[in-house]
Amino acid sequence: MARSLAAIVILGQGSLGTARSIQRLYPDALIYGLAERVEGADRSYQEFGATLRQLYQQDTPIIALCAAGIVIRTLAPLLLEKGAEPPVLAVAEDGSAVVPLLGGLGGVNVMAREIAAGLGVAAAITTSGELRFGTCLLNPPSGYALGDLELGKRFVSDLLGGESVRIEGAAPWLAEARLPQDQQARLTIRVGSAEREPAANELLIYPRSVLIACNGNIHGAEALREALHQKRIAVQSLACLLAADSDMAHRGLHEAAAELGVPLRFAPVASSVVELAQRAVAQLLPPLSVGDDIAIAVASQPLDPEQIGRPRGRLAVIGLGPGAAELMVPAVKAELARANDILGYETYVRMAGPFRADQVMHCTDNREEMQRARHAFELAAQGRSVVVVSSGDPGVFAMAAAVLEALHESSDPAWHRVDLQILPGVSASLATAAQAGAPLGHDFCVLSLSDNLKPWDIIEKRLDLASQADLALAFYNPISRSRPWQLGRALEIVRQHRTPQTPVVLGRDIGRPGQTLRVITLGELTPEQVDMRTMVLVGSSTTCVFPRAEGGEWVYTPRWYGNKPV
Ligand code: SAH
C-alpha cells in the first residue's frame, strides 16, 4: 500500500510559519491545525490525541510541532500493538530542533535530516548504526527489500561490535556509507534476486527487479511462488505482476497481487505471456517461461512498477456526508487522497478539498449528471483514479445511480473493467434526525419532492400512501425557485392523515457553517420556512417531543408500535 502523505500537526497559530516551511519541503503534506486556535491550516481537528492516534494508525507520517513528550505520551498506548509504524517526528515550534521519535525503518532519520536541512539546524539522530555508518542498513532505498528484520538487527549489532563486512552484488546507495569493509570478512551484505536461505552472517537485500507476466488462468499467489522457486528467484525480488488489459477485472489476479504485496499492471493483449513481458519492459533479460501462463523476467536494475504498463482504473462514487469533516467516513477520506481526478458539482468538489497540485478538479453544473458519469468512466478507463462526489450519501438522490446507469448503457469493455466502488456517506435525513434525537427511530419513508425527474402525480400518490401508512416522512428537495407550489400541495396531502400536533423537524445546512435546527408542528409548518437547503422530517402518530436541559427539544419515534411492551 502506498504510504499516505505526511501530516504536519500544529496546536497554535505561532507554529504556522514553521509548518509552512516544512510544507515547502513536502508539498503534498497537509497542515492540521487545532480548531479555534489555528486559522489557515489545510485541515482542522478538534482533539489532539485522537487525531494523532488516528493518523498513526492510518500509517501517516507525522510531523508534530510540539514537545516530544506530548507526542510520546499520546502515542504510547499504540506502540505495543503490531501494525503501522510511520515516521513520527517532533519539531520545535520555532523550528530550532528536529527530533525523530519513531519509524526508524520507515525512514524517519532521512526525514529528520531533510527537515533539519530545510530549517537550517541539525537533526537529533540517535540511532547508533546510522551514526556510525552514515546509513540505516535495515532501511534500504526504494526499489530494494530487506530479507529479514530480526536477523538484520543482529547483523547490525555484530557490525557495531567491531566486525568488518563485505558487499556482494550491486549496492550503489552504500558507496557513501562508512562501512568497515574487508574482502575476507565473515559478515556479508548480499544484494541480488536469487533465492537464498537466511543465515546469521548475511544481510540479504533483494533488488525489486523481477516482473511476472501472467494470464487469467492464475488464481491466487501459489502458482507464482512455485514458479519463482522453480527458477530459484527470491519472491522478495518481485516488483510487480503484469497481465493483459482483457484480464483487468480478473479476481484471481488481483488476489495474487494482494497476497504477494505487489502492484498489478496491465498492457495491451499479446500473443503470449512472454511477449507481454518483453513488450512492457525494454531492459529485461529474456523472460523465463513457466508453462503457458507465467513468464518471469529479471531486469539488471530495480523496476519502477509505475513505469510498466498502466494500473486498473478506479472510479469511486463517494458521499461527503452533510458537510462537517468529522461526519465523513474514513474510507472516503482515503479515496480522496488517492484520487487523480475529482468530478462533481462545484460546491461539493470545493467541500471535498483542499486538493494537491497534481489532482485535477472537474467542476460541472448540477444538472449534467449523465454527462459527468460518462466523463468519469472515460478518465477511469485510461487507468486513472477518479472520484465522483455527492453530498450526503451518493445513493440517495445523487450520483451513484447515474454512474451505474451510464455503465449499464455502455458496451465499452474498458468501462466495465474499471474498479467501480460506491462509498457511503451520512445522508441529510440521518444527520438531521441525529441532531433532533431519533425522529426516524421507527419505520420511515424517504421521498424527494422534486418533479424534475418523475411525474408529480406519482409523488402525490406516494405521499398519500406513506401518510396513510403512518410512516415518518423525510423530504429531500422540498422546494426550489422553479418548484414553488409543490411543498404546499404535499402538506395538504399529509394533513389529511396526520394531526396538526404532529412534530416536524426542519434542518437547514446541517453539518455546515450556519446550520439551523427547528422543531415545530405540522400545523405551524408553511412553505416559507423551507428552502432547497432544508431537510423536512414529519413525525408519525407516535413521534414524541420533550424539552432538553440545554434548551430546545428532543424528538423521537419509539421503536414499538401499538401497545408499549412491558
Ligand atoms: N445525496 C444527498 C441528498 C441530495 S438531494 C444526501 O444523501 O444527503 C439535495 C437535498 O438534500 C436538499 O434539497 C436538502 O433537502 C437535502 N440536504 C442536503 N444536504 C443537506 C444539509 N446539509 N442540511 C439539510 N438538508 C440537506
- Kindly state the average pLDDT of the residues 98-106: 90
Ligand 1 neighbourhood includes 535 CB (under 6 angstroms): yes
CA of 450 to the centre of ligand 1 (A): 12
420-453 pLDDT, tens digit per residue, is 999 999 999 999 999 999 999 999 999 999 999 9
pLDDT score at 1: 35
pLDDT tens digit sequence for 221-252: 999 999 999 999 999 999 999 999 999 999 99
**Residue-range domain boundaries for the chain:** 3-126, 144-207, 210-307, 314-426, 429-556
> Rg of the chain's alpha carbons, rounded to an integer?
29
Q: Is the CB of 390 under 6 A from ligand 1?
A: yes
Q: What's the CATH architecture for 3-126?
A: 3-Layer(aba) Sandwich (3.40)
As a whole number, the mean pLDDT across the chain is 93
Contact 466, 447 (CB under 8 A): yes
Task: Establish whether residue 398 lines the binding site of ligand 1, counting it when its CB lies within 6 angstroms of any ligand atom.
Answer: yes
Q: Do domains 210-307 and 314-426 have the same CATH topology?
A: no
Cβ atoms of residues 139 and 123 within 8 Å: no
Best CA proximity match to 138, nearest among 157, 119, 121: 157
Given ligand 1 and candidates 389, 391, 397, 427, which is best to mutate, with the most ligand atoms within 8 Å of its CB? Answer: 391
Among 207-211, 287-291, 333-337, 459-463, which stretch is predicted with the lowest mean pLDDT?
287-291
CATH code 3.30.950.10 for 429-556: yes
- Domain 314-426 - what CATH class? alpha beta
Quick check: 542 and 561 in contact, CB under 8 A? Answer: yes
**How remote is the CA of residue 447 from the centroid of ligand 1, in Å?**
12
- Residue 317: which residues within 8 A CB-CB, separation 6 or more? 387, 388, 390, 394, 399, 400, 403, 420, 421, 422, 423
Q: What is the pLDDT of residue 130?
A: 82
Q: What is the pLDDT of residues 76-88, one digit of tens each?
A: 999 887 777 899 9
Of 90-94, 147-151, 530-534, the one with minimum mean pLDDT is: 147-151
Q: Assign a CATH topology to domain 210-307.
A: Nucleotidyltransferase; domain 5 (3.30.420)
Q: Please give the pLDDT value at position 28.
A: 84
| Alpha-carbon span 189 to 167, nearest angstrom | 5
Residue 2 has pLDDT above 50, yes or no: no
Average pLDDT over residues 382-406: 97
Asked whether residue 541 carries a pLDDT value surpassing 80, the answer given is yes
Q: Which residue's C-alpha comes closest to atom 13 of ligand 1? A: 477
